[in-house]
Amino acid sequence: MFWTLELASHLEDAPWPATKDELIDYAIRSGAPIEVVENLQELEDDGEIYEGLEDIWPDYPSQDDFFFNEDEY
């Protein structure tokens, strides 16, 4: 399983919380690249509910990871 920011961005608007099957269905219906669907299919299917992208990709950067000061603009 290989995630990039571009691939993960296709799941930002997914209906969280969601199961693996719901995420795969969302990715297919929303026209996400095949790599997104393949990555989701590689997740273990133990009936787990995923609360967000961080549950799927623990290294997914949050807003705090970007050093952008909005007050400067």
Residue 20 belongs to a domain? yes
Residue 32 belongs to a domain? yes
Domain range for residue 22? 16-61
The dihedrals phi and psi of 50, each to the nearest 5 degrees, come to: -95, 125
CA–CA gap between residue 71 and residue 9 (Å, rounded): 25
Residue 37 belongs to a domain? yes
Residue 69 belongs to a domain? no
Residue 52 belongs to a domain? yes
Q: In the chain, how many domains are there?
A: 1
The larger pLDDT score, comparing residue 69 to residue 13, is at 13
pLDDT tens-place string over residues 18-67:
999 999 999 999 999 999 999 999 998 888 899 999 999 888 776 554 55
The larger pLDDT score, comparing residue 60 to residue 13, is at 13
CA–CA gap between residue 15 and residue 22 (Å, rounded): 8
CB atoms within 10 A of CB 73: 5
The per-residue pLDDT for 40 is 95
Residue 23 belongs to a domain? yes
CB atoms within 10 A of CB 40: 23
